[in-house]
Chains A and B, each alone.
Chain A
């Protein structure tokens, strides 16, 4: 027999005179789990032993992001989604902004780079300025913003710079206009504009200067190798970084069943991007098949081997620390800890490089000239 059945009484809940406080930006933000570990806000550790000081913040709103990109964990038309603390497959803890800033200030000597990720939302610009001011008042670690172009114009980018932001990232993700439209524009609640993204890239480059702007490029969402390589060259020529990201299917997104890029392709795109951006290779040195797939790299084999052996090409692309050291390294950001590293949050070890060489299968694509 239940308590209800014998007439047990329960005290009624008290009447609320106002709504429960909403835990939204600018007073609250989400941070990556790796950031939370580093700042002592979550327990845990990394599988490998390495220094980590890149703190990633994400604006948080009840409505989420108002864009609807087919691959993104924040897309607003995803069905059956309780955002909870989940974003990009793993937990992104919700924390108070002021407590976060205080913790960053306490640990400033161990931090390498801070980054605020905007989302498409009407309050995002004002809240990003607010959070930037709170950070800049107490923490000297270099600060980037991964911007939401629909919320910005040139004047607002200038304001970011005036507030102390030194680098701007733009999540183009889809590297051709056609792909961008199919995944980010012509979708249920889409509407993002390819032209607007490039307008912001151009304005940011002019305002922030050479090698202070980065464009995120996603590998594995339907683009060809040639599309990526053409963009790497175009951005390099404008002294804009390409930051490579590996598509990682997000449960409940429209691309949840889209396969990840094979490791061999991912490694070759990492290498190609590094050769173009850092070693000065040109588009003419890459040869493609009819589908735009890379079939030949016209370069001295010894030079390519030297680049592979150095290992830097396979590290995470991210904004640097104050002295140019890797700053934002996002460990296990696009792969699970039990999977092979996609990008390394540290310089690959000799054992890692053995695996990388096996994954690259360079003999199939490098036409040796020495």
Chain B
């Protein structure tokens, strides 16, 4: 586990239809995985609040060990909720440099502090250009988030 502090989002966090959204990082829209800068060539990876909410109450999370290889678009772990299990898909290629043991012990951290203490892993990037394929622009991120919420409400994945 990283020995560094576990700050909340450093940049602005906005509320979109009742859900927090940090605008200081990138997003993989299909998987609700965020990527934040964590130093030269390093990124921190986590799950956004919509990913957690629409999974249902989280029960268990499996994460790779330090030194494991990541491949963009491939699973690096697994998330299990009350009635759902699914892969955690890496948005980038690289090598795992730190794992959040606290979130492995208490997956509820993702629900309580998704942009801070609920981070999942840190990785050294193999190809920084892969970041260009993620959502970066604040307006674009906000529009995507809002559309996803509407979709989840319509399909029943978000309680209403």
Q: Residues of A at under 8 Å CB distance from B? A: 33-34, 36-38, 40-47, 90-91, 331-332, 336-338
Chain A-chain B contacts (Cβ-Cβ < 8 Å), number: 70
Residue of B with least CB distance to A107: B156
In the complex, chain A residues whose CB is within 8 Å of the CB of B60:
338
Q: In whole angstroms, what is the CA distance A47 to B78 when docked?
A: 12
Is the pair A43, B86 in contact by a Cβ cutoff of 8 Å? Answer: no
Is the pair A43, B53 in contact by a Cβ cutoff of 8 Å? Answer: yes
Residue of A with least CB distance to B160: A40
Is the pair A44, B80 in contact by a Cβ cutoff of 8 Å? Answer: no
Contact A337 B83, CB 8 Å, known A37-B156, A41-B159: yes
Identify B84's interface contact among A40, A91, A337, CB under 8 A.
A337
Identify A337's interface contact among B54, B81, B158, B159, CB under 8 A.
B81
Residue of A with least CB distance to B153: A40
Is the pair B80, A43 in contact by a Cβ cutoff of 8 Å? Answer: no
Sampled A-B contacts (8; CB under 8 Å): A37-B83, A42-B159, A44-B54, A44-B81, A45-B55, A47-B83, A331-B83, A336-B85
Identify A44's interface contact among B56, B78, B160, CB under 8 A.
B56
B82 within 8 A of partner (CB): yes
In the complex, chain B residues whose CB is within 8 Å of the CB of A46:
83-84
Is the pair B59, A37 in contact by a Cβ cutoff of 8 Å? Answer: no
Is the pair A45, B157 in contact by a Cβ cutoff of 8 Å? Answer: yes
In the complex, chain A residues whose CB is within 8 Å of the CB of B55:
44-45
Q: Quote the shortest CB–CB distance from A40 to chain B (angstroms).
A: 5
B57 within 8 A of partner (CB): yes
Q: In whole angstroms, what is the CA distance A34 to B57 when docked?
A: 11
Residue of B with least CB distance to A36: B159
Sample of 17 further A-B pairs with CB below 8 A, known A47-B85, A90-B59: A33-B56, A33-B57, A37-B56, A37-B157, A40-B156, A43-B53, A44-B57, A44-B83, A45-B157, A47-B84, A90-B57, A90-B82, A332-B82, A336-B80, A336-B85, A337-B81, A338-B60
In the complex, chain B residues whose CB is within 8 Å of the CB of A40:
156, 159-160
- Summarize B's interface: helix, strand, loop or mixed: loop
Is the pair B157, A43 in contact by a Cβ cutoff of 8 Å? Answer: yes
| Among all A-B residue pairs, the 8 with the closest Cβ atoms | A44-B56, A337-B85, A338-B85, A43-B159, A33-B82, A338-B80, A90-B82, A43-B53
Q: In whole angstroms, what is the CA distance A51 to B160 when docked?
A: 19
Q: In whole angstroms, what is the CA distance A181 to B86 when docked?
A: 42
- Summarize A's interface: helix, strand, loop or mixed: loop
Q: In whole angstroms, what is the CA distance A138 to B23 when docked?
A: 46
In the complex, chain B residues whose CB is within 8 Å of the CB of A338:
60, 78, 80, 85
Contact A43 B84, CB 8 Å, known A336-B59, A338-B60, A338-B78: no
In the complex, chain A residues whose CB is within 8 Å of the CB of B59:
90, 336
Residue among A33, A36, A43 with max Cβ neighbours from chain B (10 Å): A43
Q: B86-98, CB under 8 A of A: which get 1 and which 0?
A: 1000000000000
Is the pair B83, A34 in contact by a Cβ cutoff of 8 Å? Answer: yes
Q: In whole angstroms, what is the CA distance A279 to B115 when docked?
A: 56
Q: B124-160, CB under 8 A of A: which get 1 and which 0?
A: 0000000000000000000000000000100011111
In the complex, chain A residues whose CB is within 8 Å of the CB of B85:
47, 336-338
In the complex, chain A residues whose CB is within 8 Å of the CB of B156:
37-38, 40, 45
Q: In whole angstroms, what is the CA distance A45 to B55 when docked?
A: 6
Is the pair A43, B83 in contact by a Cβ cutoff of 8 Å? Answer: no
Q: Quote the shortest CB–CB distance from A31 to chain B (angstroms).
A: 12
Residue of B with least CB distance to A38: B156
Q: In whole angstroms, what is the CA distance A90 to B57 when docked?
A: 9
In the complex, chain A residues whose CB is within 8 Å of the CB of B158:
43
Is the pair A42, B84 in contact by a Cβ cutoff of 8 Å? Answer: no
Residue among B54, B57, B86 with max Cβ neighbours from chain A (10 Å): B57
Q: Quote the shortest CB–CB distance from A325 to chain B (angstroms).
A: 20
Q: Quote the shortest CB–CB distance from B52 to chain A (angstroms).
A: 9
Contact A47 B86, CB 8 Å, known A33-B56, A37-B156, A338-B60: yes
Q: Quote the shortest CB–CB distance from A41 to chain B (angstroms).
A: 6
Is the pair B54, A43 in contact by a Cβ cutoff of 8 Å? Answer: yes
Q: In whole angstroms, what is the CA distance A331 to B157 when docked?
A: 16
Q: In whole angstroms, what is the CA distance A90 to B84 when docked?
A: 12
Q: Quote the shortest CB–CB distance from B58 to chain A (angstroms).
A: 10
Is the pair B159, A33 in contact by a Cβ cutoff of 8 Å? Answer: no
In the complex, chain A residues whose CB is within 8 Å of the CB of B80:
336-338
CB within 8 Å of A: which B71-114 residues: 78, 80-86
Residue of A with least CB distance to B55: A44
Q: In whole angstroms, what is the CA distance A223 to B40 when docked?
A: 62
